[in-house]
Every structure is written in structure tokens, then in C-alpha cells.
Chains A and B, each alone.
Chain A
Amino acid sequence: MVEKLIIAKNVKETVSLMKEGFQPLAGGTEVNRLNSTVKGKNFVYIGKIADLKTIEKSILEGVSGSYIKIGAVCTFQDAIENDLVPGYLKEACRFMSSRVRRNMATLCGNIAVRRDDSYLIPALLAADAKLFVYSMFGRKSVISLSDYIFKKEKYGSYFVAALLVNTETGAVSQKRYANTASSHGYITMAAAKKGDMCQVGLCVKNSGFYVFDGSKTPDVVLKDDIFGSRAYKKYLIDVTREDLVSSVQGDSGCCCDGSEKGKASEKKSGGAK
């Protein structure tokens, strides 16, 4: 039950309110949703902060390569419609099947709630994405998405002001398994070419996140649940890793310039015309 709602004018006010225990609210598809995992009574709405609405090229101090900066209130649909956004990220955004929800849900919000059925996190982990964050004391920094996900105790309270995606990432291939397009994904996996190697990002519903070298599947703690048995999930993870790694090593994944060389989505819908 929301007891206080403040419409923030800028990031500074947001961070200051977060320090007082307010939680940021952007698209609302997680916070306002039935059975939301976001607990709290006081919220600061950031949807009207103009600085957070942009998608632009960005050069990071002390970090090599060029990046695209996607502001905290940019929605999935904004990303899909923006020419700067890499193809693999657009493809990940399209995993959210509902256009209406895509109009509302923000990329940073999806990352911030760290859902283990995330549409985006596997691809972004594979592609070494970064985040532009503010600490509760207002200190700005750039951290890796991997740190944000796996070091929750350290970064759990940080405000994610922007997502930073490297424009020089090699081919990325990904796959999401769900009962229907609108159901929660139970396995989402992405592989990205990293030099001669391949990096894989994985999230498994009720098990969590993993990032690993694509040559071997790590030990994933799996559970029998409404989505299927452990044996089924283990099998899927193995065959999907092989498929995706082979796909990016053959350079047939999605490239960061937005063009889609990948065949993953075609395979998903069946080959016959």
C-alpha cells in the first residue's frame, strides 16, 4: 500500500529521498503489479525527470570503448525504436511480449528488481554491460552489471540512473524459454563473443543468475517447480549453451549495430513457412 508518493524533479532529489527510505518508481510494471516483490510504502516517482529519458552515445572516463547510455526512465519500447540501441538488446526487449507493458516498463527498472526471469539481464551480462549509479550519499560511479547483480549487499541500495551498453560487443545470441510468450521465462540464456572466447549470461527461474565462459556449463542449482523438472532444465541449459555458443562463434548472432544476423528468433517460431 503506497502511503507517500513524491514526484521527483531531479536525480539529486531522488537520491536524497531514497536515503530517507523512499523507493524509486518509474514504469510501475513491477512496483504496482500484483504480488510485487518491491516492498515499501514510500515512493519517489522519477518518470518526469527529463535527464533520465534520453538514449545517447557516451564516452566513459577511464573505460575504453564507446557506449550507449540508456536513461533510467527509458522504456523497452523506447529502446526498440531507437537506432542507437544494439540489435541484441532490442531482441531482449521484445521478449516482453505485451506492447502495452513495453510502453511502461523501463530497462533500468527491470535490472533493478533483479528478477530471476529477467528479459534483459542474461544478454547484458553476456555483453559486459555497465550501470551508471548513485550511492545513497549522491556519489556517482560506473559499475559493471555483474557487480550490481552478484554483489547485492553492496549495491542493493544504489540508484540505477542509466544502463551503459558497449557498442563494440561482438555477436550476441540469446534464447528464452517460457510456457507462453506472456509467461515468466524459466530459462533465459545469452552468449556473446568475447575475443576468441564466448561469455554466457543465464538466468533460471527459482535458481538465479549465472555468468560463465561458454565452453562449459557451470553447476546450476536447479529445482523441480511449475516450469518443469530439474532434469528438463539441465538438459535445456546444456543444449541451449551449445547452440548459442556455436551460433556466436559462427558469428551469426545479433550485432551491436542493430542489424540482426541471428537466427534464434526464427528457430523459435519454427522453420516451415
Chain B
Amino acid sequence: MRVNCLINGINRNFDIEPGMRLREMLELNGNFCVRDSDDCEGFCGSDTVLMDGVPVYANLVLAGEADGCEIRTPDGLSEPGKISIVQQAMIDAGLVQSAYNAPAAALLLTWLLETNPNPTKEDIKDALSGIFIRDAGYEHYYLAVKLAQEKMKDGKYSSEIAPSFHPEWEIVGKPMSKIDGPQLVKGEKAFVEDFVDKDSCYMVLLRSPHASAYINSIDTSKAEKVPGVVKILTAYNTPDTHYMQAGQGNPEPSPHDRALFNFKVRHVGDRVAAVIAETYEAACKARDLIKVDYEVLPAVFTVEEAMAPGAPLVHNGIVEYRSGAPADLEEYNKLAGDPREGRVIYQFPLHADIHKNIAASNKGEIGDVDKAFAEADAIVENTYQTTQIQHAPLEPHVCFAKMEAGRLVVYASTQVPYHVRRICGWVTGLPENKIHIIKTRVGGGYGAKQDILVEDLTGYAAFATGRPVYYRNTREEEFIANSTRHPMRVHVKMGGKKDGSITAIYMEVCANTGPFGNHCLTVPMNSCSKTLPLFKCDNMRYDLKVYYTNTPPAGAYQGYGTPKGTYGLMMAMAELADKLGCDYKDMVLKNHVEEGYMLEILKGLGEGREGAVVPVGSCGLREAVLKGCDMIHWGKKEVSDDPDWKIGKGFAMIMQGSGLPGLDHSEAIAKLETDGTLILNSGGADLGTGLDTISAKVASEILKMPLERITIVSGDTDSCAFDTGSYASSGTFFSGNASVASCEKLRGMILKEAAYQLEESEEDLEIVKPGAVHSKKTGKTLSYYEISHTACSGGGHGQLIAHGTFITKASSVPYGAHFAQVAVNVKTGEIKVQKFYALQDAGTPINPEIALCQMYGAVMKSIGHSLYEDMKLDKKGRCLTSNMTDYGVPMITEAPDDFKSVLIDVTDKFGPFGAKSISEIACNGAAPAIGIAIHDAVGVWVRSWPMTPEKILRAMGKIK
């Protein structure tokens, strides 16, 4: 049918199929920033456009309906080379982070201010009520509107955007625009899907309907006859190379327990076959014609089922060790089952036992725990459960791969480009010099894109077919075939004295890793290693076991296991305070660590190797607790004017890490170009959090040159040097420090070259703004242009290029305290988070406005995890909540009425310009703070996520 409409003021005509959606038509028109995050669910709002001046979801409009209409899309908000006031305000407020739907948010705010120039907070909330923001939270949207209003009225901002730190520096610690902000908010090409070749094939996957089954046979004969089908990949025609999808170190502390395709499927949604075809429709049609004969097996879904005697085994194949094999391995392997089980290969011992479904384990202790419990005046002992949670990034997992001049080129939305290259190399057999990974902008990661979940297969498909191949998860596949947060059972025993001192802590962690062992040791280990060191306690014991099950896979998720360990430990501490009759705040202040305290407990918590005992470094924990208690009026009982609602308060201490000392590794190359500008090649993978901006800001500060003369190229394996990737809060600390190292080295080289060119001594020279060398002795000045031009003109020493590497044994730990005030309805069990205050010591926040938004975003995520987000499975392991509506994520409506993020001013000794990590730690506090507040409100302890109204009512005895 024919459609004539006005798109961003230009008359357009289309001949379309009746079923085409408006978003698809706009994509054809080049408005690719009208994106799809929810497979036409009308939930996330990435597809928002204005139709005749009214915001609508373009995926829910048939293109034919737009005939005669005027359409405005986000890319029409500003002219090329310019940026609108609203778009700039969003960047300045720190909101443009992973930014997959930032253009849509900018469109909504523009519409709001055009139709209502003086909106109230409720008006803003209403305008944004149909857009899901996972990265930066919602709070700074109110600020962005205010900034835009000020700019429109006065031509400048008068509101403070964020606090500034370190007045002695001009760039670092000051709110400034994120360098990739304009590209992202304007909806320019940025994400994998924007770089797909027009002749690309599409790949779709046939996935298992069974939680556990052997594959007897796969008949692809009918599917292969579908016109346009290029190849069908199965376990029968792909390499039997065992590997691990976790992008973490090498060798990994995770078992190699999977191939591209296996002859045993281990969860509903597991890979069975991949169809590569010239069109998406042909690929889907062929997929539906594949016949699979399964031998269905019994399955296990919980750690309790997995640990039961005689439980069905998730893996029962041959076990191999690359090092440290036990002496009885040959005997052990005699118990192996069907050859279709495949193999499990350990890089080093993880204390696993697949015949008991144990994927990894660890235990350790300090002091005399039993004696300390015996000496306690009171002991609490309880179990805290957490459920399976999805990252829900707005951009699903997506990959485009092609062969080019004999090399595999992979466009990846990843946190770990170098691990993607390594694993693509393993599955294809190509050496690393024949693989080029191009990390695009990442539309939301949160740990999900630390795992190489789609790049392995897409890369192999391009390699095997020689054709360009594009793959994108559906939203349902994001739930059933991705990595998720490990469900855990955290058992805590804690003893204390009447004076409030804690004598002993015992922590038993049982984690459910699903069918594969991605991060199976490190995630639960973080439950202990990033929680127990909060306590000044000499007697502590931990015992952790990780079980294989047939649930959807688990893996890395922002915070790893720390949110769950923190939930258990802090709830137990509050329960102990209650039992001892102590004030919880006093107990916290009596037992938390302070700078210099030696963390003996870390000795055994070293990610599969011996850990390092280190003292507590810079620590703003006490200040966070005291300041937060003042803010929330700790100790003052609030009373609702409605007797059905009771109000309570709670808080939790939190900590995390800043990368993995001794394991992580970052590099950067700073190049002074011939015109005196700088290109900094950072191995770090900016996943929207502002890492590139950090590199640019530290370069600007060190080299005293303006930001606009600095370009960051990052995460490209051809042009940048190795970096272990952005995970475990390593970005700022490791990659940022590598940028510092390269720029400091370059500064030395510039001074040396200038001394040569000026025929002066280096000691007499200094770097001055805006990028020049000045002689304190002669008063002469050479600009970077003059220095570099001369250096590269035959008479100098060649281009000035500095390579910086950062490794360390030092540990920079961020601390904080999160506070919640909740109202609980005693009749219905409903919970409302009224106030939330997040106070964190992040060292020097290099990008303070971005840091604050990351705290808001992480807290919102954690409020969701604590109260409603939950992947529910039926008895056969099928996910019943595989879309956004059923799963339930926090929208702006769910945000606390009073929500504040506060940065505690602490300077770290080891971080770049004193910086520590920020966003991961912000996932740790909400669950215990809310759980403790619920108890304060209605007197019951809810010891499992999500803390639902039904659980509260049951705990209150209102439902049997």
C-alpha cells in the first residue's frame, strides 16, 4: 500500500506491505535511531516518535496508519553538526550513558517543553512514564529539564549539575560533557546494528524446548531446501572445541564445559541449531522445518534438588585438567556417562565434583570461630534467598561478523573485546592476528556483555560460510538463553556481645550457576570477599558451593555475588542487634573496618588462587554511615497519617573492589599527531559509563590541552593494546590508570623532544596550556604542533608515541552506605520506597555527574531486584516471565519520592587522580536497607528476594 507522510518536515512516499510497522518504515527512511528494545511490546520506549505531535510507540503503529500524518523522530531534533538545548542538557546532566534510548528520551523531553514550558515534577514523570531507563536512573531527568529551561530562558545554566572535586585540577573531578554524548543522544550511528552490511545474512537459532535431553538426531533436510538458506550449523558439523563464555582472565576460574553446540541440551533455550539465510524470514521458516529427536532426561532446578542424593547430573562426561589434576582422575572418569555428555575441562582445580553437580567450591576461615561463637551473648542463624534476575539491557545481545581479506571482523557490543577475540580464535582456529574485534558503543551491559554469548557463534558462522552474518537476540532469548544473576542461598550465623561487638561470623553460600559454569567461582566468592572485609571481626568462616542446574544460565552481573552476600550479612547483623537489644547504627559503628585494618580474611578469597592480605586503604565508610543517618533522621520514628501504612527505616554498609589486583591488566597508547592533537588508543571498553571521557579528561589534565583536541579510540583490537576488559569495576581504576601512564610518559617525551628542539635542558621546561612547552629560562614557547611537526619532518626523532601499562597488587576499595525509608501497608502488604539515600566513597569522581547517575541507575536496578524482578520458571524449566511486562522492571513511577546520591570526598592513593570505582557497589545496598526498613515498619524479617507483599503478609501471619 502507498503511504505519504511528512518525516521531520520532509515529504516522503513509501510503497509498503500492509503489515509493515512504522518503526520499520522509518528505519528504511534512515531514521535508525528509532530502535526496538522489546520486540514490539510497547514497553521500553526506544521506538518513541511523535505522530501528529503526540508521542507514540512506532512499533505499535502500522505504517499504513501514518498516511497523511506528520512524524517527528529523535534524529530530527537537531541539524547536522548542531545539538539541541534539550539534548545538551541531557548530556550535561550525566544522563547519556549506554544511551540506547537516549534519543527517544530527548524527544519526549522536547515534546514536554514544547507543549508545557513549565512542567512540574509530576508532569515530567508523566512524560517519561513510558520509557525504561536501566543505566542512569530517572532522577537527573528532572535536572535536565531544569537545565534546559534555564538555557532557553537565560542562555546559561544557573543550577549546580554536580559537586566538583579537587579545585587544584581544571578538568578532573568537574562535571563536563561526556565526549560521546552528542553522537549518542542525537541518534547517530553508534551500535552494532548500525554497521551491518546491506548484503548481510541473518542467523536465527533453534533452541531446546527441554530442560535436559540428549539429541538423538537432527534432520535439516527440509530446512536446507528453503530458498535463501546458506548453512545450518549443529553439533554434527561444528568443532568439538570446549570453552567457556565467561570473559574473564585467561586461564579462567571457570570450567570449559560447553562447545558451540552440544549433543546434550541442558536448559530450555539451549542452542540446538543455527540457520544462516539471506533473509530473516527464510531463516525463521527453515528453523521451523528442522526436526530434532530428543531423549528427554530428568532435570534439576534448585540447589536443593541439585545437591540431593541421586540427583540427575547436569554434566556427566569426561573431566580433564590443564593443570593440577587430582591423582584419582582416571578412576573418577570411569563414572562418566553417555558420550553425548561432552567434557568438562578445568584450567586449574576449582574444587568441583560434577558427580554431585558441584561446579566449584571454596572455604576458609580466620581465628577460632567455634570458640568465638561459644563466647557470644547472642547468636542469630538464618538463611537468605535470592532469585534469578535478568540484566535487561535495552540493547539485546547482538553481533555482526564478516570475513574480510582473510580475516574475521566482528562488530561486538561487548565489555571484553580481547576475550571475544580469544574465544572467536578458539572456535574458528584462527590466530589472533587474523581476527579484528570492533567494539561499538554498548547499549547496556551490566555484566551481561562480559560474557561472550553471541559473538562465538556469529563469528564462527561468518568464518564457516564466508558470508557476513548478523545475529540479534529476541527479548525472550535475553531471558532464556543469556546469562543472569545467580540465584543464591546465603546462610549466615553471627554472634555478638551485649556491648554490640561481633565475635564471630559464619557464612555458607550455595549458588545456582545453571547449566554452565560462567564465573561460577568468582560470583559466589564475591559474596564473601566483598562483604566479610567490612567487619572488624577476628573470627570468620566461609564455605561456598556452586551447583549446576537446568535453569537458564547464570553469569556475571553488576556486583557479582556481593549484593546477595550483603543482603545476608547486613540483615543478620540487624537481626543480631535486635536480639541483643542494641541500636543497629551503634553496632555498625562499633564493628566496621577503618583505614589500616589488616584484612586477614582475604587470604583465601583470591579468585581461585591465594589471596593477598592487605590493609584497608582509603575509606569513607564511617562518614557515609554518619552522614546518611543524619539525612534520614535515624532513630526518629515516622508515623503515617493513614493507620494502614507503617513506616520504617533501614540501612546497609557496602563495599566492592576496583578491578582485580594481580589479575587485571590495561594498556593505552598516546600519540601526538602532526598538528599537535592527541589520539589516545585505550584498550579499555567503555560500555557507556564514561570510561573514554575519563581517558580524555586525564589526558587533558596531564598534557594541559583542551578536550576537543583529544580523541579516544577504544576497545578496537587492531589499533589498541591489550586490556582485560571492563568488569569487576576495573574500568576507571585499571584502564584509567593505563591512560594516565601513557599520558605521563608522553608528557616526558614531549619535554625531551622540546628540549632537543629548543636546545635547552628539560629541567627548565614546563608544560603549559593550551598544549605547549614553555621555557622558564628563555621564555620561549613551542606549541605541540611545532614540536610534533618538527619531530615528524625529517629533523626530529619521529612521532611521539607513548605506551602505558597498568598492573598492580594494590587494592582500592570503594565503600558506602545506603539508606531506605519504606511504607508498608499492614492490610495488603504493599511496599513503597519513600526515601532512598545512596552515599558512596568513590575516591575522586572524575566525572561527578555521570557517577551520580550511575548510582541512581544501579540503585533503581537493585530496588527492582529486591521487590519485584524475578525470573519465574515452571516445573519444566520454562521461563514464565520472558518479557518486560511480566518480568517487571522499575520505571520512573517506581522511583522513590525522595532520592539522593551523595559522593563522599575521599582521595585514593592508587586510583587515577585518586579515583575508585562507582557503579557496581551501588547495587549492593538496596536489598538489606529495604529488608531492615520493612522490619522496622511492621516487625517481620523477609529473608528472600523479591520481598513481595505476599511474603510480608505471610510473615505477618495474615496468610497461612
27 A-B contacts (beta carbon < 8 Å): A2-B18, A3-B19, A5-B64, A27-B60, A32-B21, A33-B40, A47-B65, A104-B56, A177-B828, A177-B830, A179-B888, A181-B893, A182-B43, A182-B884, A182-B888, A226-B881, A226-B886, A231-B960, A235-B953, A239-B827, A243-B827, A263-B642, A271-B641, A272-B638, A272-B639, A272-B641, A272-B821
Q: Which residue of B lies closest to A25 (CB)?
A: B62
A5 pairs with B1, CB closer than 8 A:
yes
**A contact residues, total (Cβ < 8 Å):** 50
Residue numbers in B under 8 Å from A47 (CB-CB): 65
Among A231, A243, A271, the residue within 8 A (CB) of B645 is: A271
**Which residues in window 20-49 of A have CB below 8 A to B?**
25, 27-29, 32-35, 43, 45, 47
Give complex CA distance A236, B829 in Å.
9
Q: Given A33-B60, A179-B888, A272-B834, are A28 and B126 also a contact pair (CB < 8 Å)?
A: no
Q: Which residue of A lies closest to B946 (CB)?
A: A179
Q: Which residue of B lies closest to A27 (CB)?
A: B60
9 tightest Cβ-Cβ pairs between the two chains A and B = A271-B642, A98-B130, A270-B823, A271-B640, A100-B130, A2-B19, A5-B18, A181-B893, A270-B832
Whether, in the assembled complex, B118 has its beta carbon less than 8 Å from a beta carbon of chain A, the answer is: no
Whether, in the assembled complex, A196 has its beta carbon less than 8 Å from a beta carbon of chain B, the answer is: no
Min CB distance B959 to A, Å, is 5
Whether, in the assembled complex, A64 has its beta carbon less than 8 Å from a beta carbon of chain B, the answer is: no
Whether, in the assembled complex, B54 has its beta carbon less than 8 Å from a beta carbon of chain A, the answer is: yes
Q: Given A33-B40, A35-B883, A270-B823, are A181 and B891 also a contact pair (CB < 8 Å)?
A: yes
Q: Which residue of B lies closest to A234 (CB)?
A: B959
Residue numbers in A under 8 Å from B948 (CB-CB): 179, 228
Whether, in the assembled complex, A57 has its beta carbon less than 8 Å from a beta carbon of chain B, the answer is: no
Whether, in the assembled complex, A207 has its beta carbon less than 8 Å from a beta carbon of chain B, the answer is: no
Min CB distance B958 to A, Å, is 6
Q: Residues on B close to A: CB < 8 A?
A: 1, 18-19, 21, 38-43, 45, 48, 54-57, 59-62, 64-65, 67, 108, 126-131, 475, 638-642, 644-645, 647, 821, 823, 825, 827-828, 830, 832, 834, 868, 872, 880-881, 883-886, 888-891, 893-894, 948-950, 953, 958-960
Residue numbers in A under 8 Å from B823 (CB-CB): 270-272
Among B130, B828, B880, the residue within 8 A (CB) of A101 is: B130
Q: Which residue of A lies closest to B823 (CB)?
A: A270
Q: Which residue of A lies closest to B38 (CB)?
A: A34
Given contacts A3-B19, A184-B886, 4 further A-B pairs with CB under 8 A are: A5-B1, A25-B62, A100-B129, A232-B949
Min CB distance B835 to A, Å, is 9
Min CB distance B141 to A, Å, is 14
Min CB distance A161 to B, Å, is 19
**Which residues in window 179-228 of A have CB below 8 A to B?**
179-184, 226, 228
Min CB distance A20 to B, Å, is 15
Whether, in the assembled complex, A139 has its beta carbon less than 8 Å from a beta carbon of chain B, the answer is: no
Min CB distance B286 to A, Å, is 17
Min CB distance A90 to B, Å, is 13
Give complex CA distance A99, B823 in Å.
26
A1 pairs with B19, CB closer than 8 A:
yes
Residue numbers in A under 8 Å from B1 (CB-CB): 5
Min CB distance A245 to B, Å, is 14
B645 pairs with A100, CB closer than 8 A:
no
Whether, in the assembled complex, A7 has its beta carbon less than 8 Å from a beta carbon of chain B, the answer is: yes
Give complex CA distance A236, B821 in Å.
24
Residue numbers in B under 8 Å from A269 (CB-CB): 832
B41 pairs with A272, CB closer than 8 A:
no
Give complex CA distance A2, B18 in Å.
6
A32 pairs with B45, CB closer than 8 A:
no
Q: Which of B130, B644, B890 has the most CB of A within 10 A?
A: B130
A267 pairs with B644, CB closer than 8 A:
yes
Q: Given A3-B19, A104-B60, A271-B645, are A28 and B65 also a contact pair (CB < 8 Å)?
A: yes
Residue numbers in A under 8 Å from B475 (CB-CB): 34
B130 pairs with A99, CB closer than 8 A:
yes
Whether, in the assembled complex, A103 has its beta carbon less than 8 Å from a beta carbon of chain B, the answer is: yes
A229 pairs with B950, CB closer than 8 A:
yes
Q: Mark A44-88, 1 if CB is under 8 A from B, else 0.
A: 010100000000000000000000000000000000000000000
B48 pairs with A100, CB closer than 8 A:
yes
Among A100, A231, A266, the residue within 8 A (CB) of B56 is: A100
Whether, in the assembled complex, A151 has its beta carbon less than 8 Å from a beta carbon of chain B, the answer is: no
Give complex CA distance A266, B641 in Å.
11
